């Protein structure tokens, strides 16, 4: 049995100080991922800092941005009237994630920081560079049907699991942080790190950094948007491929999920659409031109292509 300390904090600065003081401490929000990973030994925190009493549960609108506190639950955000009216891509992505029971506990901050569902990451008996740097990657020659085809490295091919992050990347959302050196903001497009040769480093967060919220610029009136998720089991599962489309008057923003090591902003597709707004097939082809499938996941190239074309045809067609 392992000893675990538990502390509950009431102020964001206290949360940061508690974590910064102990390299073996971790934040606990809804616990829907953190506790699972601790039970199976993938994550070993010695001290849990419970942040659920922090005053980070507001959803406000300042005229330009929707400001969402990190402890707002997925279900509550999906049900906000402004989200339904102005951000269908966000609503769709939230409601396509997990189950309603989980969404009532799971927070926005926790969702963005959930860990990969790669079975080799979760199974401590197998090699994983993300869990144990330098150990190797069992997925490369193992069963990798669900793994990434974009943004991979010779050291890691795990997909990023969040649906929410894909929508927020397409929406140019910004993450608000409080760290030991004070507050700062990071655009979500620069928040996640590709695995390269350090798969353990998944985000730009430093130990002690607390996500306090997310700011989402509201798209212009008349923008159409949506999130299409393809999965093995329609009722509730992680994405095999997904596409978020935000078609503002004058430009289309696109992101992909389920196929990449990070929530994937589809810049190449966007560049094609800037020149030819209805060239959906060419846009999807350009985005997937450098995909690197392996033995079991070649189907994802075609699946992602079709998912993106269908999403663009639904929300970006005139
Ligand atoms: C069966 C199952 C199915 C799921 N299906 C989907 C799915 O289809 N799509 C999808 O997107 N997600 C899915 N999820 C993931 C789910 O959305 C996440 O588990 C949840 O959002 C995590 O939020 P939480 O509040 O429970 O975080 P926790 O489990 O408490 O924390 C998760 C991680 O984030 C850190 N953390 C939490 N809050 C903060 C903060 N404010 N600042 C800094 N660090 C923080 C924690 O330290 C921990 O490392 C599924 C989960 C389960 C268990």
Ligand 1 centre distance from Cα of residue 72 (Å): 12
Residue 126, in any domain of the structure: no
Residue 227, in any domain of the structure: yes
Ligand 1: which residue has its CA nearest to atom 48? Answer: 34
Nearest one of 81, 88, 50, 54 to 69, comparing CA atoms? 54
Ligand 1 centre distance from Cα of residue 75 (Å): 13
**Atom of ligand 1 minimally distant from the CA of 210:** 42
Report d(CA 170, CA 263) in Å as an integer.
9
The pLDDT averaged over each successive group of 10 residues in the chain (318 residues) is 92 98 97 96 96 98 92 98 96 97 98 98 98 98 98 98 98 98 98 98 98 97 96 94 95 98 98 97 98 98 98 95
Strand partners, 66: 61, 216
Ligand 1 centre distance from Cα of residue 52 (Å): 13
Residue 11, in any domain of the structure: no
Q: Which two tokens stand for residue 78?
A: 């999906």
Ligand 1: which residue has its CA nearest to atom 16? Answer: 111
Residue 151 pLDDT: 98
Provide the CA 68 distance to its chain's centre, in angstroms. 16
Residue 189, in any domain of the structure: yes
Nearest one of 98, 65, 246, 223 to 164, comparing CA atoms? 98
Ligand 1 centre distance from Cα of residue 25 (Å): 17
Q: Ligand 1: which of 30, 32, 39 to mutate, most ligand atoms within 8 Å of CB?
A: 32
Report d(CA 310, CA 318) in Å as an integer.
14
Residue 210 pLDDT: 98
Residue 10: how many other CB atoms lie within 10 Å: 10
Residue 136, in any domain of the structure: no
**Atom of ligand 1 minimally distant from the CA of 71:** 41
DSSP string, 159-204: PP--HHHHHHHHTT-EEEEEETTEEEEEEGGGTB---TT-TT--BS
| Angle made by CA atoms 17, 22, 23, in degrees to the nearest 5 | 120
Report d(CA 196, CA 20) in Å as an integer.
27
Residue 76 pLDDT: 98
Ligand 1 centre distance from Cα of residue 101 (Å): 13
CATH code of residue 173: 3.30.465.10
Ligand 1 centre distance from Cα of residue 218 (Å): 24
Residue 318 pLDDT: 83
Residue 37, in any domain of the structure: no
Ligand 1 centre distance from Cα of residue 32 (Å): 6
Domain of 231 in residue numbering reads as 59-113+159-315
Ligand 1: which residue has its CA nearest to atom 7? Answer: 97
Residue 183, in any domain of the structure: yes
Q: How many domains does the chain have?
A: 1
Q: Which two tokens stand for residue 258?
A: 């389920």
Give the full edge-to-edge strand order of the sheet including 47-50: 5-8, 47-50, 25-28
Tell me whether strands 251-257 and 264-265 are parallel, antiparallel or unpaired: antiparallel
| Contact (CB, 8 A) for 248 and 240 | no
**Atom of ligand 1 minimally distant from the CA of 56:** 41
Residue 2 pLDDT: 81
Q: Give the SS3 label for residue 121.
A: helix
Residue 120, in any domain of the structure: no
Nearest one of 258, 213, 269 to 55, comparing CA atoms? 213
Residue 250 pLDDT: 86
**Atom of ligand 1 minimally distant from the CA of 70:** 41
- Residues in contact with ligand 1 by the CB-under-6-Å rule are 26-34, 51, 70, 97-98, 102, 105-107, 109-111, 113-114, 161-164, 210-211, 238
């Amino acid at each position: 049995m392992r000893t675990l300390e538990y502390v509950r904090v009431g102020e964001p600065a206290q949360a940061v100080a508690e974590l910064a003081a102990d390299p073996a401490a971790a934040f606990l929000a809804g616990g829907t991922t953190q506790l699972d990973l601790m039970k199976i030994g993938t994550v070993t925190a010695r001290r849990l800092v419970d942040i659920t009493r922090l005053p980070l549960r507001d959803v406000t609108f300042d005229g330009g941005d929707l400001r969402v506190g990190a402890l707002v639950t997925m279900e509550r955000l999906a049900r906000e009237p402004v989200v339904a009216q102005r951000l269908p891509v966000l609503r769709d992505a939230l409601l396509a994630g997990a189950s309603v029971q989980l969404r009532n506990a799971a927070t926005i901050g926790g969702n963005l920081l959930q860990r990969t569902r790669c079975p080799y990451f979760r199974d401590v008996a197998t090699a994983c560079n993300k869990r144990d740097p330098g150990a190797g990657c069992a997925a490369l020659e193992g069963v990798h049907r669900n793994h990434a085809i974009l943004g991979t490295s010779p050291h890691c091919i795990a997909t990023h699991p969040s649906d929410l992050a894909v929508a927020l990347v397409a929406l140019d959302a910004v993450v608000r942080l409080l760290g030991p050196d004070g507050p700062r903001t990071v655009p979500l497009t620069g928040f996640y790190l590709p695995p390269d040769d350090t798969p353990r480093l998944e985000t730009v967060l430093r130990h002690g950094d607390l996500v306090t919220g997310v700011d989402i610029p509201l798209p212009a009136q008349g923008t159409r948007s949506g999130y299409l998720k393809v999965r093995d089991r329609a009722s509730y599962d992680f994405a095999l491929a997904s596409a978020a489309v935000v078609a503002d008057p004058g430009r289309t923003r696109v992101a992909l999920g389920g196929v990449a090591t990070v929530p994937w902003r589809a810049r190449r597709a966007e560049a094609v659409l800037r020149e030819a707004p209805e060239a959906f097939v060419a846009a999807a082809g350009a985005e997937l031109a450098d995909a690197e499938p392996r033995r079991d996941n070649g189907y994802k190239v075609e699946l992602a292509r079709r998912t993106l074309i269908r999403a663009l045809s639904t929300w970006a067609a005139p």
